[in-house]
Amino acid sequence: MSNSIDLLNAAVIVVNLLRVSGHECVIAGGAARDIAHSVPFRDVDIIVRTEKTGLYELLDSIGFKCYEDNEYQNEEACGRIRSVWKYQQLKGIDVIVYNQDNFATVDECIEFGFDCNMSQYKLEHQLYDSWLVRALHIGDEAVKILRDDVSIKRLERLIEIANNLGWDSTELQQRVTEAKEREGKIPTFG
């Protein structure tokens, strides 16, 4: 767990630096979910929604590198995610920069930009030795896919996470089966 604590502490420093520089950001996703459920996490995502210039230069100057080959480079995701940056000094901290034209706030990035309700958690702030974690639109513990551009690899990872948390992964399993039947493409629903 000390590696998780090191990751979280480093991520908090990055968030504070970004905020001081005028960028709207928050720790969200799997790490926040895992903290809420008292399980170890393996990485920390910092979600950024900004209109200020200088973000990329700042990230570069503090040791982040833009990750060109990532799962968000498909056609659907390109409109919502501008870039993904990985911290070079400590593996496991990612900065995901959302398109400010599509989302008015960082909460909208989480609510409307995430692929699964199981990831819609964010760290609000630290209270002594614990974190206040807020779930956005979780509802029950049945996993719901929120976007149609989710890869089979991502769905399989979500099934693993859901099973570890004891959540119902039926919808995920159905999506994987259907996608594999359609030669690896996720069907469009709705």
Give the confidence band of 28 by pLDDT, cuts at 50, 70, 90. Answer: very high
Between 53 and 68, the higher pLDDT residue: 53
- How confident is the model at residue 56, as a pLDDT? 94
Where do the CATH 3.30.460.10 domains begin and end in the chain? 2-139
- How confident is the model at residue 26, as a pLDDT? 92
Average pLDDT over residues 20-31: 92
Q: How far is CA 116 from the centre of its chain?
A: 10
- How confident is the model at residue 190, as a pLDDT? 37
Query: CATH class for domain 2-139?
Result: alpha beta
Mark residue 48 as left, alpha or beta (left: phi above 0; alpha: psi -120 to 50; beta: remaining): beta
Contact assessment for residue 74 and residue 149, using Cβ atoms and an 8 Å cutoff: yes
Residues 6 or more apart whose CB falls under 8 angstroms from that of 134 comprise 121, 122, 124
pLDDT per residue over 143-187, tens digit each?
Answer: 888 888 788 888 899 999 988 888 888 888 888 888 888 765 554
Average pLDDT over residues 19-34: 91
Give the confidence band of 189 by pLDDT, cuts at 50, 70, 90. Answer: very low
pLDDT per residue over 97-150, tens digit each?
Answer: 998 888 999 988 988 888 888 888 888 765 555 566 665 544 456 788 888 878
Q: What is the pLDDT of the chain when averaged over all its residues?
A: 82
Q: For 186, which DSSP code?
A: P
Supply the pTM of this predicted model: 0.83
Contact assessment for residue 44 and residue 7, using Cβ atoms and an 8 Å cutoff: yes
Tell me the C-alpha distance between 122 and 96, whole Å: 14
